[in-house]
Every structure is written in structure tokens, then in C-alpha cells.
Structure 1
Amino acid sequence: MNYNIPENLKGLTEAEVEFSRKKYGYNTLGEVQKETWMNILVGILKEPMLILLICVSFIYVLIGDYGEALFMFVAIVAVTAISFYQDNRSKKALKELEKLNEPLSKVIRNSKIVEIPTFEIVLGDLCITEEGNLINADGRIVHSNDFSVNESSLTGESYSVFKDSESEDNEIFSGTVTVSGLAVYKAERIGRETRVGKIGQSIINIKEEESPLQIQIGKFVKGMAIIGIIIFLAVCTFSFIKTGSFLGSILNGLTLAMSVLPEEIPVAFTTFMALGAWKLMRNGIIIKRSSIVETLGSVTVICTDKTGTITENAMQLKYLYDYRSDAVYEQEEFKSEKLNQLIDYAMWSSEPVPFDPMEITLHKTYEQNRPDDERKSYKLFHEYPLEGKPPMMTHLFENEQKERIVAAKGAPEAIINVSRLSEEEKIKIRGVVKKFGEQGYRVLGVAMSGFEGNNFPEKQQDFSFDFLGLTVFYDPPKKEIKKVLEQIYNAGIKIKVITGDNSDTTQAIALQAGIKNSTAAVNGGEVTLASEEELMKIAEERTIFTRMFPEAKLKIITALKKQGQVVAMLGDGVNDGPALKAAHIGVAMGSKGTEIAKSAAAMVLMNDDLEKLVIGIAAGRRIYANIKKAVQYIISIHIPIILTVSLPLFLGWAFPGIFTPVHVIFLELVMGPTCSIVYENEPMEKNTMNHPPRKLTDTFLNWKELTISIIQGLVITGGVLGIYQYSVYLGNDEFKTRALVFSTLIFANILLSLVNRSFYYSFIESFKNRNSLLAGITVLVLILLFVILYIDPVSRFFNVTSLDINELLMVAGTAAVSVLWFEFYKFAKRISA
């Protein structure tokens, strides 16, 4: 883009940038902290499972069992490695997200305009800001073009302030927003030295709110931890009374504590969210906070802007309506002399350096059809920015001969209202506008005025305008939009269009795009005047909202949220900022979206493709479903471990210490990767996007689901303890009994991980959803089991003996019966559905 920036503005050289950075640092509010090995080590040592392992190792050393102590040390290394792997994957994903979330800034360096990450702005940089951009450093304007800024973030005043290099106040500040035009400013304060940096230093210490799912999982894990402490104390006391051995009793207690503590759950949650956000990033969907991935799956209403989201935002100028000749002209006829004045004033009413697609088109039309280009002869000396309901804007230009041009354009109704027209003429023009609008065209009115002196009216509406005509644009719906909207409807999600355009155009485009609507459109004025009760009803029942301004958009979003809807808002403009911020998930367009929209949003679609939102919603549903599967798997498999460790001790069975910490930690090492790596990789079940969204307030496990998991665990316990008692009945020794019980539990674990891939479809059907990690973990666990059973030194260490083929078939069969009964439950569920 040609910014018409003076050649004398060359910016800093690379050497000057490096010197400035070394002296004054980066443009950031907080210090850039690198994670040290000490921080990583301290973080790992805080893990409850590691603390338990260290305690067990210490006890083994005290009682002289150095082999067990050595195994515990290996287990500590293994747990640390798994934790490090998980943590590293999560942090790597989050760092990639941070890089993409870092806003870019335009600066002039070595006489070239370049884009850099905002934190790389240095003191002395020449920065460029344009309409819709956030200003990212405090500085002084050195060049500007029709520049105005909204400083409400600092002053609380919401109106725009015009500034240039020659004005008395030519400073601009970080955190404010460019409303119109362009400015080049020299960065004089960056980072914490900026005005907003000094005001808001405490912001960087604000802790991000936990999501509902995080809170629920946290409570669940704390509850299990409390139960673990109670059981630990009970076992220690019971064992000490029975045996009199203090260290042995502590060891038994710690064994049980390890079996109770579900430390895999928070690890799984963090991994699922971080990797989910990372995978979406690879699909061109930037998630600013990994926790919103969960919320994506709960979206019940999508509120979307029209231009650039449903439509191409191409803005082709299809027709010109000339009021004086009362005729409509097509593109081939734009060179007609009758259209000269209309084309001229449509261009003059646009920004001198256009940013808006319609204004770019108007400038191109002027270039192509007006051989005498007068743009360099006139200078913009006064402006009324886009405002009003409906909106309009007015530009005043003057040349060296003091000849003036006063040009206005805006919503047809706004231009009609300020023009010298009779009521009959107004009705006639409204009829033309309506006809175009019903065909899906975007229409702007154009008018001219004259004014002597410099005592300009306070409002642009106070000028006396002559109506010139209409510019008629066509912004066609995106090619794949019908298919995308159909997917959204199939997922049980409502769609509402919230736009600044008029109702006729919006309804026509909505019909072409495939939006379901059987109610009349509502305009922003009606929304503003409605009572809270009326607003709730309007928000629920209506689909199309037109002539919407920021406050009206915000009211609709707020009303939908009060109804308990989970709202995603799509937008790309400055006026979408408040609504994007207020929605549960604000979604900004990455290519054509303004910086203020991207800043306010929680999610950015890199190529402005609405289909990416569907992918995001599907990912949210998949991740939520997989978290539930992982948690239910953890609950189900923990129950037999806990009861196999505790019941023989409490009931005085033949071999009360059937499992030692060695066996429990092996099972924990199997469960950890299964729930947090394998289930995270589990594909989405078929028909997931054909079900209505869940309520955000739903608990991640309701009583029915929790009961199912407990029953699964108890049935597996029955199978495992049945093998235990059968082995004792056959007169087997402790080593053989342990081998049978341990093998049964391992086989049950493998089968449970397969069965719990779906709580609706059969596990055979689930094999169609390929998951290579699940196959890999299953094979690895079986190899390790056979190593434990049949490699003599390992068998002795685990205190087990080998099993013959009949015994293996018996434990595998018992595990199958203990787990696969659930397939009949799922079959019954499918039949009754």
C-alpha cells in the first residue's frame, strides 16, 4: 500500500536499533523471564506423586531394601521424564501461540516500511499507525494524514481527537486507538515508561480466571486427595496395631495413598487444552488462552457481522444512481459525463488514503473514469468522522485558490435526511434504495454542500446539502458459506446476523447465504429503546439485527448471555470491539480485521474463513469428550487398585501385602500416558457435530456418569479379587497369586482403555477411529508385562512367578468378562436411542 510518507523519514538503521535496545530494552510491561533449570526442578519436586515416591524410596533405604529403593529411584526418573515431556509439549504449544498472538507493528527502518512484533519497537523508532490500529508506544507525530485518535482508555472521553505534527498537542499514547487516517510518530517512551505502562503496571499481575471445568476438576482432585490422606492414616494405624512395625505401616499407607491420588487428571487437563490450542493454531485458528478451547464446544449462539464474514468483503461498484438524471448506470457507462459530479464527490467524501474496501473502490473508479486527477491539488482541512444513527461522514477540501469541496456520504437515510429534498423526492429515493437493498446490494448516499469562512457547524448534519445520488456495491456471499452454515445448524447452534448495514440488503444476503430466518429485522434504534424484558425477547426470537452501532451490539450480546446462551461473536471492525470483548468467545478476522478487533477477541481466524470456526467448535467438543473419557478411565481403574491394596489388609486375607509400591507405581506409569497422551489423541466420534451443545454450567461428570465409572471399577475389582481368592483356593503361594492378580489388572487396564474410547459405540466400531498412540501404548504394556513375568531377574524383583498358557488365558478371560460387559450396556443404549 502507498502511504505517501515523505522521503526524509528514513527511520533507524540496524546499528541504531541494536544500540537503543541495549540501552532502553524491549517494549513490554514485564521483564522477559527465562525459565531456569532450578525453576523446572522445583516445579517437578512439587508434584504429589514424586513426593510420595521419594518418601517410599527413603523408607526402603532405612529398612535396607536397596533393590526396591533403586527401582523407586528409576520410577522417580520415569515420572519426572513423563512430567517433563508433558510439560514441554504444553509449553511448546503455548509458546507457539504466544508468538502468533503477539501483535505486529509497522515501522520505518533503513527507509523501508517493515512489520515487526510490537515488543521489538525501540526508543527512536518511526512507527506507523492507521485506522483501526492500537498505538503501541508513546510518541510525537512527525507526519499525518487525516489522523484522529480515541484516547478514552486514558482520559475516559469517548470522542475522537484530531492531531497532527503542527498541532499544539501532537503527542499520542500507547493503548489508544486510531479512529481515522494515518500517522507516523517517533517512539519516545516504550514498555513500562509509557503512560499506560505506569498506570497499569499491576495488570500484569492479574491472575487469569479459571474456567468452570478447571474449577470442577480442581475440586474433584482435592476431594480425592483428602480421601487419600484419611485412608493413609487409617491404613498406617491399622497396620501398626496389627504388626507393630512403624516403617512397614508407613510403607503400606504410602502404597495406598499412591493408588488413591488421581494426579493424572490435572496433568491431562493441561495437556488436552494446550495441545488442543496448538493443533487449532496449525489449522489457522489462533487461540489466545488455551482454556477457551473447552468453551468452544459449548457455543450455543454465533453472532456474526455480515461484511467480511458471511460475504467476501470485495465491494464491487455495480451501479451508480444519478439523482439529477434519475437514471441507473452500469459499470460500462461510468465514463458518462452525467456521472462526473457523483463520482467526484463519492471519492472526495472518502479518506484521502483509503482503508475501507468501498472507499478503495471509489478511488479506483475516480482514477479510471476521470482523466483530470485533482487529488494533489486539494488538501483536506476539516473533517467530520463517521457518526450518527444511521451514520454519515463529511470532508472539506481546499486548493491554493481557496476553492472548496464539501462532500458527504453515508447511509442513504442519513444523507436523505440532511439534503434539500421534498417529501415526495425522499419517498422516491427511498424506493430506489429499497429496490437495490432487496437484491442484496450495499447502498451509500452521496451529497455536496458549500461553505464560506471557518466558523464550521458543530455537527455535519447542520450543513445544507444537495443530494447527488447513490453508489451501489455488491459484496457477494462467500462461496462455501451455505455448507458452513448448514454444519453450524446441524450442530444445534443458532446464528444471528448483527450488522451496520440496512435491513433489505442484510435480509437478501442472509437468504442467499442460507441463514434460517422467519422474523422481521430489528434495527439498532429499536434495540436501544427496548426495556430489559423486551430486549431479552428480541435477542431470543429475532435473527437479523441491522443498523447496529457498538452499544446496540453490546446490548444484544449481554441479553443473550443473561439467557444462559454461550455466545461467540464474529467481527472485524473497530465498532465490533466491545461486543467481541463481552462475548464468551470473541472471534476476529485475521486478514481483514482491525488491530482493535484482534486485541478484543479471544480467537483469531487467520484467513477470515468461517469454516475455521466450525473446526474450532468441533475441536472443543472433541477435547471435552476426551477429557471426560480420560477422567472416567482414571476413576474406573483406580478403584480396583485401591481395593486390591486395601481389602486384603483390612479383611485379614492370606496375602495382605499383595501389592507393594513397586506394583502400584508400575500401574501408575501405565495409566499416566494412557489418559493424558492416548486419550488426547483420540479422534472425534462420528455424529459429534450433529448433537446440540452441552450447557456450560454442566458438571464435567454428572452422577450418572460417575456411577457408571464406579460400577466399571467395582466389576473389575470383583474379577481381580475373584482371581485372588481362586488362586488361594488352589493353594498357590504369594508369588503366583500376585502374578495372577497383577496380570488380571494389566489386561483389564488395556481392555478398559479400548472400551472407554466411546460410551455409545462398540469398541469394535471405535477401531475405525485410528489412534496409533493407543496401539503403541498397548503393545508396550504387553511387552513389559511379559518381561516382568518371564525374565527371571525382573520376576524376582517384582516378586512374581511366570504363568503358563492356561493361566494367561484364565486371567485374560477374567479381565475380558470384567470389562466387556459394558459393551452390552452400550448396545442397549444404542437400541433405545
Structure 2
Amino acid sequence: MEVPNQFKGLNNTEVEKSRIKHGDNSIEGHKKSSGLALLLNILKEPMLLLLFAISAIYLLIGEYGEALFMLAAIVAVSAISFYQDSRSKKALEALEKLNEPLSSVIRNGKVVQIPTNEIVIGDLCLTEEGKYLNADGRIVYSTDFSVNESSVTGESLSVYKGIGDKVYGGTITVSGIAVFEVEEIGIGTKIGKIGSSLLAIEKEDSPLQQQIRKFVKTMAVVGLVIFLLVCAVHYYNNRNLLESLLNGLTLAMSILPEEIPVAFTTFMALGSWKLMKEGIIVKQSSVVETLGSTTVICTDKTGTITENIMQLKYLYEYASDKTYETFGDTVTSELISYAMWSSEPVPFDPMEKTLHEVYSSMSKKDLRGKFSLIYEYPLEGKPPMMTHIYKNVEDSRRIIAAKGAPEAILRVSTLSEEEKEKVRKWIRDFGSEGYRVLGVAKSHFEGEEFPEKQQSLPFVFLGLVVFYDPPKKGIQDVFKQIYDAGIKVKVITGDNADTAKSISMQAGILDADRAIDGKDLMTYSGSELLGKVKENVLFSRMYPEAKLKIVKALKEEGEVVAMVGDGVNDAPALKASDIGVAMGNKGTEIAKSAASIVLTNDDLNKLIIGIASGRRIYSNIKKAVQYIISIHIPIILTVSIPLFLGWIFPQIFTPVHVIFLELVMGPTCSIVYENEPIEKNAMLQGPRKMTDTFLNGRELSISIIQGLVITCGLLFMYQYTVQNGGSEEKTRAMVFSTLIFSNVLLSLTNRSFYYSVIESFRNKNMLLLAVNSLTLIILFMILFIPAMSNFFKVDSLAINEIGFSVITASLSVLWFEGYKWIKRTKANNAKVFKGKGKIIDRG
């Protein structure tokens, strides 16, 4: 980009002074946590505090090997947590840098590229065609410069600007070049004030996060009570305070389900990372879970449902009352010419580009080089219209051309009411076919003082230009998947109802004839508004305020709303929705900032992928939680029952055994289950309610029963070994081995609570195989390597003893396969079909 030499811009000292005085060019600051802060947060985790306490006790009683093992466990757990947290932090920071736009500024007499947040007041910013303006300022130099200010004003057509005119951040340069001096940055800009108002709408933790936090706190309280009880019982029996504390801490460690919040964090972070690889940028990882609960998708039409390529389909010439599909006829040349003249000289809008192209192809003599724009009425009015006035540089002839919404052009024309009604019939007919219609008119004015309002000019109605923006290929399949998943669709558009209805029906939107206009919607409130929003599918001629009103009404009805938008005026609705979805290509920066998800290629199908991912993650985290509950119950009871009942070996498990189990269970629930593929029926079910608990009574009962049956197997193995003369080490080895085998089998059978374990093997999960294989390898090392056997205080087992442990574990766990078989049989026999003949499985 070339600019005059007189512009030197700020020097480094002036930049620093301005930054100190006025701050950075950012709307919302993000506090970045340091590595030390991450580590300190990790070290505050209850499980690590317990491990520290146990290590200290082992040191006090002289058990240095156990103390060293506990310290090694602390290091391992901390390292894994720190790695996961720091990786998430680095990924988010890299994503921020990736999304941050660059700006061209003049500093020290040179044009340099800098991150947008480094712009300061007083900078000279350069912009050219296709570039975003990233601050407010005043033009000091321009050449044929025009901007599209729809992101700020809502008007879609471009506006010419000259020296001294104000420009705004968030707008886009349509033509020419300009240098502007920055006057406002960050929240001081026009777009920033809209953005800062969004900050008042706070995002709360998702219900699942709240439920998990409540569950963990409850278990922590239970653990504290049992810890005190165990300490008291043990101290009453042997009067040894340190051993009593050690036994109590062992049980407390077995009760505390610290894997659950770790699993939730891991699921959300890895889910976000996987979606980013799909072209779906998730700005808040917890939103992934909310995605799976989406009940309503509010989408615009142009560019989301349609291709956003405006094909000129028909011309209707009023003088002959005829419609033309080919545009070479001389009778249509005036209509095309005036439609082109009313467009921007350097077109940005797809419709205007098409008009220029058609004019070029059919005109024998291109007059664009002979006429210059001398006056412009911008797009305004409800419905809107715009007017351009050109002057011939040679003979001073004028061209006054207008186009806009047909209703607006008819209103200012000289036609009689009867003649207007004839045209309105054509408009309705075109609209019913899904076409976008513009009215075109010409005028004549001799004076130099043009009227203040374009509507004051005398206009001759010329006709209609009719465009077709076809639905995207495959969009019908996208909406079919949405409906199959039990999700409702609302279409919110600025188009008229006829056009929007036709396109919506072509795209596969159900009940698109249930429509309401924006101005009518705004007249309703309270229960009437809720009723209108609930019953209508198509919302036409919508204003920004109406969009927000729809989102709020849907949320008030208990819906989980995904709002798709791309403009600044969409930002409040995006922020207020449960899931704001911005378009990566055509979306404004403020829309992306307000949204929680950005679709990089503007493909609505990506949203379906996100919803499927959300459902997969929610299902898998539920499996992980149920697994944790089921496996913790036998650990808790096997530690406590021998003590409370005074059995011969009251301390069958020590902290060493429990921490080994914790190290096995941690990756199993947080990594293995996260890697589970989506079950084949997941997108054929209705969305779950956000108010539902993550485990209902039936699901919790199943997990408790699973845990109690495994406990019975372990206690049976305990008593069987003791009754057959087994030592404490032999008994511990048999019980410990049975618990490990049960854990492996439980992780397999709980992959699905509906499909069989054999069918689940079709869903490949190499991490499951790896973790379970490693667990078994370590178990056999503990049993057969003397040093490890001595450390874990177990005896080696014979082949028949291992076989007996496997059989006991199998009976304790695989009974659940019978339960699932009964469940599937009932579902198949019931033949409950919904929708398009699909069995709705809630399993």
C-alpha cells in the first residue's frame, strides 16, 4: 500500500507514552495464570494433601519405603496434572494468537504490521480493500475510500468517506485506501461500547459442573465423618494414634472421588482440542458439555442456509409488464443499467457484484468511466432504499438511480395504488419461489441543492431485479440430522417472509409456514411473547432487539439455545444464548468475541459435529463417574468392614494399595473413557434436560449395586482364603488380585449401559487396551517379583489361585451383561417407534 511521504506516524517513545496513558486496544482483558500458579493450585488438591499427610506419618513411624512411594505418587500425580493444565493453557494462548488480527500502522516513517491489541491512540492506521478497521479514528488521507458499516449500523451497503470523516473499528473497507488517526481504542470505540455491555451478561458454570462440585463436596464430608469414625475405632482397639490416623487416612483416600473433577476437566479440554481439529473453535471448554444438551438452534438464512452467491434470475420490466430470463434484450438494458448505477462503484455486496457483471456483459458501450459519483444517499429507511447521483465529466449529464426493498421503491414512485398492487403481486410471486427482490427506479433533478431525504425526489418506477441465493448443497441432510436428534430449528432473517419461507422449505426446515414479522413480535410481551416464540419457526424482517428477545424467551421456556450469528448486532443475542455460534469467515470480531464457538468455514454441519461431540462427552463422563462410584464402593467396604467387624486381618489394604488403585483408576476414567467413540444411537435421541442430574436415581442405584456385588466377591475371597488357612499376605494377594481383575472387567462392561461388552469391542479404543494391559502387567510383577511382593506385603499366587480370582471377579462384574441383555430384549419386543420409525433408546 502506497501512502504520501508526509506521514511519519508515532515514534517508539510516543507509542509507549500513549500506551501508558490510554492502555491497550482490547475490549476484554484475560488474566493469564503463571506456571507457578498452576502448580500451587494443583498442590491444593485434597488427594495430594492426604498423600502429604500419609507420607509424614510413614516418616514418623519409620516406614521409609512407604513414605518414598507416597512421595513418588505425589510427584506422579502432580506432574500429570501440571502437564494437562499447562498444555491446556498453552493451547488457549496459541489459539488467541491465531485468532488475533494484524493491523498496518505507520511508525517511525515506515509501514509495519502489529497485533491489533498494540494499536495506541495517535497511531496512523492504514486500511485497504477487504481489511478490517480495528480502532475508531478520523481520516487524514483517502483515495476512492468506502466502508461497509453494517457491523456497527446494521446497514448492509457501503458508505463513501473522505478526509475528516469518522471511521469505526469493526467495519470493513470496501474500496480504495485510507490513512486514519486513531482517536479511540478498546472499550472506548463504538464497537467496544457494545462489546463492554456484553460483559455484564456473565457466564455461569454449567449445571453439570455444579452437580459434580456438589457431589465431590458431599463425598468429602462423608469421607471426613468416616475418617473420624475409623480413627476412633482403631484408637480404641490399639491405643496407637499414628496407626489410627494412617488407617483413617487410608479410608478417606479411598472415599474421596478426586478423579471425577479431573475427569471432567480432561474430557472438556480434550473435547475442545478434537473439535478444533474439525474446524470448530471452542473458546470455553465447558461449553462442549452444553452443546450436547442443545434443544433449539436459531440460525440466520443468508450464508448459513444459503450459498450467499446472488444469481440474477429474472428481470421484471414495469413498462412492458414482462419478465425476462435472458438479459441481452434492449428492452431490459435501462433496468439493468439503473440497477448497476444504484450500486457501489466498487461493489462488495454479492448482489451488486452480479449487477456490475451483467451490465458489463450486455452493454455495447460501458459508460462507467465517463460518470463520477457526485452525491450519495446511503441505505436508510424501513424498509431501506439507497440513491446514487452521477455526473458525466464531459457534458454534465446526470444519472439518478435508486434501488432497495420493493416496498420502499414503490412508496416513493409516481405509480397509482392500482399500479402498485399489480407490482406487489409480482413481488409476492417471486418471493414465494424463494427469490430475493429489489425494486429499481430513476429520477431527474436539475438543481444543485439536493433534497435532504432521497424520498423527496420524484421517482419513475422501472421494475424489479430478482436474485436467487440457493440453499447450500447437503443442507437438507444437515437439518434432517438436527431433527433426528430431537432439536428444534428457528430461522431468524432480515428477508421478507415469502422469500425466507420458500428457502427454508427448500432447505428442509419443518413448519416454515409458521412465521412472524419482527415488528409484530416486538408488540408482544410476557406469556404472549413466549407463546409466539414457541409456536413460530420463521422470524422475518428481524431487528437486533428482536433477536435478543427471541433468545431470552426461549431460555425462559427452559430451552438450551444455540444462536448462530455473524454481526455486531448479533453479539448481545450470541452472548445471552447458551451457545453462541459465530461464523469464522464472514463473522465480525465482536461476534466472535461474544460467541463461545466459532465455525471456521461457516458450515452449519460443523455445529452438528459439535453437538454429537457434546453428547459423546456427556455420555462418557457419566460412564466414568459410574465406574468411579462402582469401584470405590468395594475399596471403601473392604477397608472398613474387616476393621469394624473385628476380622482377623483388619488392615487388608494399606495406603500403598489404595494409591496404586487410585493411579489405575485415574487414567482409566479421565483418559480411557474420554477416548470412547460415540455410541451409534446417540444422535437418534432427544437432548437431555440441562436441569437433569448427571446421575438419576436408577443410574446411581445400578452403580451402587455393581459396587456391592464386587464387594461381595472380595469379601467372599477374603473369608475363603482365611478359612483355608491363608496368611495375611496370601489373603491380601487374593483380595487385591480379585479387585484388580474386577476393575479391568468393570472398565470393559461399563463402556456401554445398553450394548453388550462384545459389541462394544467394535468401538476401537486402544487406550483402554493399553491401560488395562499395563495394569495387569504391574499386578503380575507385584505377585511374582519378590521385592515388589515384599513392598506390597503379598504372597505369590499359584495358577489355580489366579484362575479362581478371575472367576470370582467375572461373576462379580459380568452379571451386568445379563441386565443389559434383558434391557435390549424389552426394547426390541416393545417396538416403540418414534419419529421416522426409529427406536428411541434412552439407555
Same fold by TM (over 0.5)? yes
CA distance in 2, matches of 1:534, 1:431: 32
What residue number does 2:4 align with?
8
Gaps of 5+ in 2: 828-843
What residue number does 2:333 align with?
340
Range with bigger deviation, 121-130 or 518-527: 121-130
Gaps of 5+ in 1: none
| Deviation digits for residues 787-831 of structure 1 (CA, Å, limit 9, x no counterpart) | 111100000000001111111111111111111111122112212
- Using the TM superposition, give the Cα deviation of residue 105 of structure 1 relative to its aligned residue in structure 2, in angstroms: 5.0
What residue number does 1:365 align with?
358
| Deviation digits for residues 696-724 of structure 1 (CA, Å, limit 9, x no counterpart) | 21111122211211111111111111111
What residue number does 1:772 align with?
766
Shift in alpha-carbon separation, 1:193–1:609, aligned structure 2, 3 A: closer
The SS at the match of 2:371 is: coil
CA distance in 1, matches of 2:262, 2:447: 71
2:66 to 62, 65, 68: 68
1:590 equivalent to 2:557? Answer no
2:696 to 699, 702, 706: 702
CA distance in 2, matches of 1:197, 1:479: 34
What residue number does 1:166 align with?
163
State the one-letter code of the partner of 1:434.
R
What residue number does 2:725 align with?
731
- Using the TM superposition, give the Cα deviation of residue 57 of structure 1 relative to its aligned residue in structure 2, in angstroms: 1.1
Contact 2:152 2:191 in 1 (8 A): no
Range with bigger deviation, 688-697 or 222-231: 222-231
| Deviation digits for residues 2-33 of structure 1 (CA, Å, limit 9, x no counterpart) | xxx765389889x9799958995964468887
1:526 to 520, 526, 541: 520
| Deviation digits for residues 129-170 of structure 1 (CA, Å, limit 9, x no counterpart) | 8899574466655437345869989xxx99999895533xx4
Contact 1:381 1:398 in 2 (8 A): no
State the one-letter code of the partner of 1:611.
N
Shift in alpha-carbon separation, 1:198–1:480, aligned structure 2, 3 A: closer
Shift in alpha-carbon separation, 1:112–1:442, aligned structure 2, 3 A: farther
State the one-letter code of the partner of 1:394.
T
What residue number does 1:312 align with?
307
Shift in alpha-carbon separation, 1:612–1:376, aligned structure 2, 3 A: farther
1:215 to 201, 205, 210: 210
CA distance in 1, matches of 2:634, 2:43: 28
1:233 to 208, 213, 228: 228
The SS at the match of 1:378 is: strand
CA distance in 2, matches of 1:815, 1:38: 44
1:350 to 336, 339, 343: 343
Contact 2:149 2:155 in 1 (8 A): no
CA distance in 1, matches of 2:5, 2:500: 44
1:569 equivalent to 2:568? Answer no
The SS at the match of 2:324 is: strand
Shift in alpha-carbon separation, 1:253–1:202, aligned structure 2, 3 A: farther
| Deviation digits for residues 657-704 of structure 1 (CA, Å, limit 9, x no counterpart) | 111110010000001101111111110001110111111211111222
1:102 equivalent to 2:96? Answer no
Contact 1:410 1:446 in 2 (8 A): yes
2:626 to 626, 632, 643: 632
Pairing 1:417-816 to 2, within 5 Å after superposition: 417-451=411-445, 459-517=453-511, 519-816=513-810
Contact 1:412 1:445 in 2 (8 A): yes
Pairing 1:187-202 to 2, within 5 Å after superposition: 188=182
| Deviation digits for residues 522-581 of structure 1 (CA, Å, limit 9, x no counterpart) | 222322234543332222222222222323333333322222121222233455444333
| Deviation digits for residues 406-451 of structure 1 (CA, Å, limit 9, x no counterpart) | 4322221222222211122112111222222222221111122344
- Using the TM superposition, give the Cα deviation of residue 322 of structure 1 relative to its aligned residue in structure 2, in angstroms: 1.8
What residue number does 2:840 align with?
none
Contact 2:402 2:441 in 1 (8 A): yes
Range with bigger deviation, 493-502 or 472-481: 493-502
CA distance in 2, matches of 1:164, 1:521: 39
The SS at the match of 1:374 is: coil
Range with bigger deviation, 138-147 or 361-370: 138-147
Contact 1:312 1:476 in 2 (8 A): yes
Shift in alpha-carbon separation, 1:196–1:369, aligned structure 2, 3 A: closer
Pairing 1:77-96 to 2, within 5 Å after superposition: 77-96=75-94
CA distance in 1, matches of 2:109, 2:473: 41
- Percent pairwise identity: 59
What residue number does 2:297 align with?
302
The SS at the match of 1:529 is: coil
What residue number does 2:145 align with?
145
CA distance in 2, matches of 1:162, 1:317: 24
What residue number does 1:126 align with?
125
Pairing 1:389-408 to 2, within 5 Å after superposition: 390-397=383-390, 404-408=398-402
Contact 1:147 1:182 in 2 (8 A): no
1:46 equivalent to 2:41? Answer no
CA distance in 1, matches of 2:92, 2:822: 42
CA distance in 1, matches of 2:483, 2:825: 26
Contact 2:514 2:535 in 1 (8 A): no
Shift in alpha-carbon separation, 1:38–1:529, aligned structure 2, 3 A: closer
CA distance in 1, matches of 2:201, 2:646: 54
State the one-letter code of the partner of 1:8.
P
- Using the TM superposition, give the Cα deviation of residue 321 of structure 1 relative to its aligned residue in structure 2, in angstroms: 1.6
The SS at the match of 2:598 is: strand
Shift in alpha-carbon separation, 1:17–1:184, aligned structure 2, 3 A: farther
CA distance in 1, matches of 2:686, 2:6: 57
CA distance in 1, matches of 2:308, 2:148: 25
CA distance in 1, matches of 2:366, 2:797: 97
The SS at the match of 1:760 is: coil
CA distance in 2, matches of 1:518, 1:202: 34
CA distance in 2, matches of 1:197, 1:516: 36
State the one-letter code of the partner of 2:49.
I
CA distance in 1, matches of 2:145, 2:586: 21
- Using the TM superposition, give the Cα deviation of residue 181 of structure 1 relative to its aligned residue in structure 2, in angstroms: 7.7
Range with bigger deviation, 562-571 or 613-622: 562-571
The SS at the match of 1:351 is: coil
What residue number does 2:319 align with?
324
| Deviation digits for residues 221-245 of structure 1 (CA, Å, limit 9, x no counterpart) | 1111111122222222222222111
- Using the TM superposition, give the Cα deviation of residue 352 of structure 1 relative to its aligned residue in structure 2, in angstroms: 3.4
Contact 1:681 1:773 in 2 (8 A): yes
- Using the TM superposition, give the Cα deviation of residue 355 of structure 1 relative to its aligned residue in structure 2, in angstroms: 2.4
The SS at the match of 1:209 is: coil
2:825 to 798, 811, 831: 831
| Deviation digits for residues 45-101 of structure 1 (CA, Å, limit 9, x no counterpart) | 212211111111111111111111111121112112221232244334433443444
| Deviation digits for residues 624-652 of structure 1 (CA, Å, limit 9, x no counterpart) | 11111111111111111111111211221
Contact 1:132 1:594 in 2 (8 A): no
Aligned residue pair count: 819
Range with bigger deviation, 817-826 or 732-741: 817-826
Shift in alpha-carbon separation, 1:242–1:497, aligned structure 2, 3 A: same
Contact 2:371 2:390 in 1 (8 A): no
| Deviation digits for residues 301-344 of structure 1 (CA, Å, limit 9, x no counterpart) | 2222121111111111122222223222224x34x443333223
State the one-letter code of the partner of 1:166.
I
State the one-letter code of the partner of 2:163.
E
- Using the TM superposition, give the Cα deviation of residue 461 of structure 1 relative to its aligned residue in structure 2, in angstroms: 3.7
Contact 1:138 1:194 in 2 (8 A): no
CA distance in 2, matches of 1:141, 1:597: 29
CA distance in 1, matches of 2:259, 2:422: 71
1:58 to 56, 59, 67: 56
Shift in alpha-carbon separation, 1:134–1:544, aligned structure 2, 3 A: farther
